[in-house]
Amino acid sequence: MCGIFCAIGQNNDASCHLHSALEQLLHNRGPDVQDKLIVDNVLLAGNVLWQQGAAPQKQPLVENDLVLLFNGDLYNLDEKKVESEADSAWLIKELNKCNMSDDEQLLALLRQLEGPYCLILYNKREKVLYFCRDALGRNSLIIERHANNCLKLMSTSCPVLEHMASAALELPPLGLYKLPLAQLNECCLYPWQALNEQTQQQLSTLETAMDWSMRLGQTIAPSWLLDKPLQVSSFDLYALAAGDIPLELLHERLLGNEAVQQALNQLDELLQRSVAARVLHTAPVCRLCSGSDRSDARCSHAKVCILFSGGIDCSILAVLADKYVPASEPIELINVAFERVAAAPDESWNVPDRQTSLQSLLELQRLCPRRSWQLLQVNVSREQLQQQLAAHIRQLIYPLRTVLDESLGCAFWFAAAAADSTARVALLGSGADELFGGYTRHRNAWRRAAPSAAARELALRQELEMDWQRIPARNLARDDRIIADCGKTARAPFIEEHLAQFVRSLAPQQRCCYALPEGVGDKLLLRLYGQRLGLRDATLLKKRAIQFGSRIADKKQQATQISEYLRFDSLQSNGLQ
């Protein structure tokens, strides 16, 4: 994980400088090595959290005419680069093999990359800036327009009144943007895939905010988007679950079905591969030992943590992580609870997520008895919450501004900032609800549709697709900014290219069954997978959003309301919602 920054402006333009408050936020993201460079009135700065290679790789990287800032992880390079080489070092070499006077070779290279990343690439010869977020939008990149035609790109921002942006938003992950320095109001976009109505609206919002004239180039079409997922035999969970039978027998019937087994086998192969890549691709030392006198010695502290409510998503990730994290290392399970003000003193932190975390910990200890599971219980008083939100967390949530952003941002920040945590990687269950049908609105879409199976399938498919398309703008970039501020890399195994393609290729009735009650029919395929792994109680827990399970949110508030803490009144914010 890195904190990257780029500013394009005129000579001695103060609005394009890297001010100290933002420099500190970028340093929080990348505490191991830092560097910056000015070329052609372009300021580039990189702050690196060591996760790859034999040693931290300083950024920006410069080779011949190219200057690269890279924030991310590439998980399909095992056969293409040596293990001791950082992804960014491999990438700058490959970029230099491209004929940069013709973008086709650059697009061909991007077409092959898999993993969460953002990049900023400056071509000194052509005086052209390229920048993008990966096609699933997993890492944050904010774009701002300032006075005097100054443009900024950065992993995280810090609204300072004397250098306030006239427009700021999360860069939509639509493709590779190309911006010539000589014409900063003319931008070319090479889209990842053909634009639909929603992505066209995002592009229009960006064009207006940045005062650009946009031109569309050829579609990149990443290789994984073109790969056809394995086709499994047809099955219908509604038909298989028909009849009034005990839950235990229902699970037995479903798990014994050959077509369901085939789907679960493919899910197991893809999810195990995703988890393995995300826990094994990290530095050999924890946050405490990195840079210390002990860095050459063997570090036995936890390198991996799981943000842990005890629910089905994070419990599955814990079981799978146990298969790949070295047996001698503990795995941290971080659970956050916010003070219940009216409760008795000994009940202040006894929130629903705390209870389920303790319950699921017992299951993990039963299934993986040799693992040292470290349950870190983070207790946050209302005073601490208000103080950190007002002084710090609000900057990380920016440019988003809703009550929901506030609640989720605070919950993730306090969890990632756990005082006793040594982990460099934080596994999240993000994406599971969008893929497998875990939200109440999915059940409601099924219920509201006409009673025919075809009508309900169409309504649910549309709702699932809408949620999947908007997850980068609603969750991923914000969560990246929040967790990276604590010196951790957020990794979401469910949001992996081939896994997502496979699950999305399944019909809604192969993922969930809303004829069954909550905690059973929602995310039914995933719950069956948890059952197959040996989980029991965790597979029957109802979906509970972290803001309610941790008791940070007030259910009386509207999630889409503008938060009083996130108002930057001097700023015209254009965050994409």
Q: Which residues are catalytic?
A: 2
Q: Cα dist. 224→187, 354, 521 in Å? A: 26, 39, 30
The per-residue b/e assignment along 178-195, b for 16 or more CB within 10 angstroms, e otherwise, is bbebeebeebbbbbbeeb
Cβ atoms within 10 A of the Cβ of 244, count?
5
Query: Do 367 and 319 meet the contact criterion of CB atoms below 8 Å apart?
Result: yes
Alpha-helical segments (H) within 368-452: 382-388, 394-397, 403-416, 432-436, 440-448
Q: To which residue do tokens 């965790």 refer?
A: 538
- Give the SS3 label for residue 240: helix
C-alpha separations of 478 from 105, 164, 368, 483 in Å: 32, 20, 33, 9
Query: Half-sphere exposure of residue 7, counting CA atoms within 13 Å on the CB side?
Result: 25
Comparing C-alpha atoms, which of 46, 266, 54 is closest to residue 155? 46
279-318 b/e with 16+ CB inside 10 Å = b? bebbbebbbebbeeeebeeebebbbbbbbbbbbbbbbbbb
57 contacts 86 by C-beta, under 8 angstroms: yes
